[in-house]
Amino acid sequence: MATGLHDSSFTNPVVRWIDQRMPVFTMMQKEYGTFPTPRNFNYFWNFGALAMINLMIMIATGIFLAMNYTAHTSMAFDSVERIMRDVNYGWLIRYVHMNGASMFFIVVLVHVWRGMFYGSYKKPRELLWILGVVIFLLMMATAFMGYVLPWGQMSFWGATVITNLFSAIPLVGNSIVTLLWGGFSVDNPTLNRFFSLHYLLPFVITGVVFLHVAALHITGSNNPLGIEPKGPQDTLPFHPYYTIKDSVGIVVYLIVFAFLVFFTPNYLGHPDNYIPANPLSTPAHIVPEWYFLPFYAVLRAVPNKLGGVLMMFGAIAVLFVLPWLDRSPVRSMRFRPIAKWAFLLWTVNFFVLMWAGGKPAEGLYVVISRLSTAYYFAYFLVILPLLGKIERPLPLPESISRAVLRGGGPLPGGAAAKPMEKA
């Protein structure tokens, strides 16, 4: 072999020629072919692949929508309706994009939930987790700006309210808001820059997704037992076992997605966004898109402007430090009798926040929002650190194959009996 060429194991001459010079095939084979993956994944482990697919769907539909969208206050609304009426299959592409945003959040929320339940954020996967939270933040920014583009009433007033959050910053707040707007209200310059950024951010997300996956392939995946694979008997090659298992999940996901798109395309939207933006009249009840509701509830639970904004951002910021708040050495909640219930309660509480965020900020709803907000933070800041000290976890299984195969699996060979530690 010539010096400088990669030592390729592929025999197809074309593949081999490329692979020797740029070992993408070797890389794909290593990362998605033979990649040793714990053999005991449940279907929750589909949601990472689903999120990846969803991102690709959003980018594809978005590019084609942008070919027909006009980012101008006087034309944006009509250009979107023109896509719905006159552009060939425009309604399909727009409804996929619109509902794709909701599907993306459903998928990612389940993915995050899985990470929290099975302790996927714990050492050595802290950075993997942090990159995930960065993706989540970028998604929220992208979704928010995308919702502004049709220039309906909710677009306009959502943009106004959310950008005004920054006015809570002492001293420079108002200057920052003027900067964000490019004027003295949400107007054409705002719409234009939101369109520009809405087109840019998905590619930034793609970049961070690559880092997320790169980090994952260093540490390897967590699994429902939360114990590291101890040897070959605990793992399976990613292909074909998990490519096919992910495919099953993808088809189920597509069925749910298709149902939304074809039969209830506007169910998750708000009728007011089919009224063109009117800067002189705010709709009676403005609510953000459903995926912002829990955080919106946190914002409104605090009677102080700066406090509310800080708490809302804090609700996400706390996820960044989660790996250091949860000190328990046991990852999977299956073996944490108390934390499991505290977390399931946190999950229910998340839905309560979501529900409260969609209600008017008055009376009992405010009380419920405050209690829910309190528990949301208490789980992270009090319960988890405390349980790390006082909780007695259940005994962990000796190895994945033991647990899976009820002792029928091959014994760990020789020295491989101690847990894998990775950088």
Active centre residues (catalytic): 217, 221, 245-246, 289
Quick one: which segment of 200-208, 253-261, 335-343, 387-395 binds other proteins (CB under 8 A)? 253-261
| Cα dihedral value 221, 227, 232, 233, nearest 10 | -120
Give the span between the Cα atoms of 227 and 264, in whole angstroms: 42
User: Which residue in 93, 135, 311, 330 binds other proteins (CB under 8 A)?
Assistant: 93
- Contact between 423 and 218 (Cβ < 8 Å): yes
Nearer Cβ to other proteins, position 34 or 174?
34
Closest separation between CB of residue 135 and other proteins, Å?
Answer: 19
d(CA 422, CA 9): 27
Residue 147 C-beta: closest distance to other proteins, Å: 13
- Angle value at C-alpha 322, between 320 and 328, nearest 5 degrees: 160
Residues 117-146 that bind other proteins (CB under 8 A): none
What are the φ/ψ torsions at residue 38 (nearest 5 degrees)? -50, 140
Nearest of 35, 27, 3, 8 to residue 19 by alpha carbon: 8
Shortest Cβ 7–other proteins spacing (Å): 12
> Which of 36, 182, 314, 388 contacts other proteins by CB under 8 A?
36
The verdict on 404 binding other proteins (CB under 8 A) reads yes
Is 202 or 357 the residue whose CB approaches other proteins more closely?
A: 357
Q: How far is the CB of 403 from other proteins (least distance, A)?
A: 8
Asked if 152 contacts 77 with a C-beta cutoff of 8 angstroms, the reply is yes
**19 within 8 A of 13, measured Cβ to Cβ:** no
Q: Which is nearer to other proteins, 102 or 142 (CB)?
A: 102
Q: Within positions 177 to 236, which residues make up the interface with other proteins, using CB under 8 A?
A: 220, 224, 229, 231-236
Kindly state the DSSP code that residue 68 receives in the 8-state scheme.
T
* Contact positions with other proteins (CB under 8 A) in 291-330: 293
Q: Which of 1, 14, 244, 364 binds other proteins (CB under 8 A)?
A: 244
Report the nearest approach of other proteins to the CB of residue 1 (Å). Answer: 16
The end-to-end CA distance of the chain, in Å, is: 33
Phi, psi of 36 (to 5 degrees): -70, 120
Among 27, 68, 192, 314, which residue sits at the site for other proteins (rule: CB under 8 A)?
68
CB-nearer residue toward other proteins: 203 or 263? 263
Q: Which residue's CB is nearer to other proteins, number 29 or number 142?
A: 29
Q: Are 214 and 417 in contact (CB under 8 A)?
A: no
- Is there binding between residue 331 and other proteins (CB under 8 A)? no
Query: Among 148, 156, 153, 121, which Cα is nearest to 136's?
Result: 121
